[in-house]
A and B are shown apart, each in its own frame.
Chain A
């Protein structure tokens, strides 16, 4: 049950686009479309942003988009805003019927 691999940090200026990658294996990301992305502010509970690889939850800005290719999922945030500064986690269902999270990515808006 190894964690999915995410970059520890990414940064971008307001208005720019950034992409956070999430690399797993054929036993998780590569074999399921139950891949999701969560946003977490310091001291707060995580919030589901994207599920089933690319579907935004209600109320989530269209600036957030998800995709997957092989064993790697990606979260893209376009038109960066200061309020996007947070930690982001990916997650995937696995062939062992467990869930696995990525290590998390700290997004800094410069």
Chain B
């Protein structure tokens, strides 16, 4: 089973700053099968990125995903007030089909 480790656990930043979130896998993950989600307090998660770097419909271009193999990154170029939330990475294994989530990174206002 692939384990996803997200770091840091908490990221304290100010609006307008750049956020860099890391997701490290215990084994190599196909880039096609790495996604990122945002969960605001009290809300359902929202898909941000799929296929490691493809933005979902309606996601602003300040969000970008990159990486391959075991190391993936979500970057928010300039934090807006609505971006302070928890972010999860997720990978897909095909045999058998299963999703695995990372533990999350909370981006909080400094």
Asked if chains A and B come from one complex, the reply is: no
